[in-house]
Structure 1
Amino acid sequence: MSCADDEPDAVAARYARRHDGDRYSPLRPEVWQTVQERERALLRRLAAVGLRSLAPLAITEVGCGGGGNLLGLLRLGASPEHLTGLELLPERHAQARHVLPPATAVWLGDACVAPVPPASQDLVLQYTVFSSLLDDAFQQRLAAAMWRWLKPGGAVLWYDFTVDNPKNRDVRGVPLKRVRALFPEGRVHAERLTLAPPLARAACALHPALYRPLAAVPGLSTHVLAWIAKPA
């Protein structure tokens, strides 16, 4: 068995070691501001590509977690029956299945072998999944699956951090150069977002209003939101 074959089990083991507490609670000011900033950027990108409704779009999320991103798409008008969530971790899959509508498919297991038909999806999302994958070959395998699922003219919606976290060896940054290498046929539009989390936590502990001006300072944002379009 190759290292790439082992990677799903390794990811599960790394997540089992995590003890995040309330660090990612949406009630924390640095968290809700990060989410709102990302949603604003997404809405700008949807408008820029001429989308006026998500209702007819088939959308799959890789690593859907507890279902929060898919719930956000439902609020933006996506149709439950056109959404699919793929999740590796059983406890997160159970949470997503609990909160998402019955018409939304939620699949448990390695996304590389998920039963998503080729050329069937208008959008494929990944939010901070690839930074949790430490095996290059598995990253490539997953990217190839995501690209295969897309219809011509569809797009991968990518959100992930680009720099390493020296305090967490279970993740690694995915620079934009790597994103382009994973999707060599894609047309990439990328926007830097998200104030560096340690700085965001410190700033918002003083006052939540500090987040936005600091996030506007070049060099302080650690993530990228990328729209990776598949040629029609």
Structure 2
Amino acid sequence: MNDDAPTSSTAAREAENVRDRYARRDGARDANRYSLSDPYALAVWQERQRKMLRMLAEKGLRDLGALDVLDLGCGSGGNLLDLLRLGVAPDRLQGIELLAERAEAARAVLPASCSIWNADALTLDIPAQSQDVIVLFTVFSSILSDTVQQQIADQAWRWLRPGGVVLWHDFVYDNPRNPDVRAVPLTRVRALFPEAHVRSERITLAPPLGRAACRMSPALYPLLNAIPLLRTHVLCTLAKPL
């Protein structure tokens, strides 16, 4: 863990580092690997959607059209499109994305009434307690500064209404082939959000195994994923007390 001091320069430096990491990653990644036409990507997405909806319903958040939702680290808008399909109203849906090209891609596929901010989340003046759901999907694993992780967690918590939830999804094992990311175990999630009521579930069959299995038959995904030790991610609702 890093022990950098909580300064604005630390946050600015980490934001620039994140931009550099994503530029390297985007240059090397195979976009088709993450397309829903890929059997493994489709199985992962379907599993996450089902469990996400169930966990939100458990918190009483069933009518998504009545909620204000913010996706922090929205990328090119994939999660925002999912949320629209699930019933979130476009004018109650916002996304924040640090990388300009990804923010532009999100704007290109989303309704104009959906607000997309190309900004560092720490610089935005969003009203406190204005959001019912804040989505944090594979965001913190790309932030290598402990201090900046905590600053962003505090910011998200400030924006969340009492009774609302942070919807969290990230991986819990380090990838030795990718030094630009690091795992975020559940103990770290709890430390970042110490006031939250946490409901968590391990999901997602390990990517190398899952991709190999799905090439043989997509039916192998649920069979192998039934073994908890083979799941690499955690999905959480982090509820803010009333």
Q: Same fold (TM over 0.5)?
A: yes
Query: 1:16-55 maps to which residues of 2 (within 5 A)?
Result: 16-18=23-25, 19-21=28-30, 22-55=32-65
SS in structure 2 of the partner of residue 222 of structure 1: strand
Q: How far off is 1:58 after superposition?
A: 0.6
Q: Which residue of 1 aligns with 2:10?
A: 3
Q: Which residue of 2 aligns with 1:194?
A: 204
Q: Which residue of 2 aligns with 1:165?
A: 175
Q: How far off is 1:4 after superposition?
A: 3.2
Q: Which residue of 1 aligns with 2:195?
A: 185
SS in structure 2 of the partner of residue 153 of structure 1: strand
Point out the more displaced range, 5-14 or 17-26. 17-26
Give the TM-score normalised by structure 1.
0.97
The reply to whether residue 114 of structure 1 matches residue 124 of structure 2 is yes
Q: How far off is 1:134 after superposition?
A: 0.5
Query: 1:76-87 maps to which residues of 2 (within 5 A)?
Result: 76-87=86-97
Amino-acid identity (%): 55
Q: How far off is 1:3 after superposition?
A: 3.3
1:184-207 alpha-carbon deviations (Å, 9 max, x no partner) = 000000000000111111111111
Aligned partners of 2:99, 2:219: CA distance in 1, in Å?
35
SS in structure 2 of the partner of residue 208 of structure 1: coil
1:97-127 alpha-carbon deviations (Å, 9 max, x no partner) = 0011111000001111223111100010010
Aligned partners of 1:184, 1:6: CA distance in 2, in Å?
26
Q: How far off is 1:5 after superposition?
A: 2.8
Q: Which residue of 2 aligns with 1:226?
A: 236
**Contact between 1:85 and 1:106, CA under 8 Å: does it hold in 2?**
yes
Aligned partners of 1:35, 1:171: CA distance in 2, in Å?
21
C-alpha RMSD of matched pairs (Å): 1.0
Q: Which residue of 2 aligns with 1:68?
A: 78
Aligned partners of 2:162, 2:173: CA distance in 1, in Å?
31
SS in structure 2 of the partner of residue 124 of structure 1: strand
Give the TM-score normalised by structure 2.
0.93
Q: Which residue of 2 aligns with 1:147?
A: 157
Gaps of 5+ in 2: 1-7
Q: Which residue of 1 aligns with 2:217?
A: 207
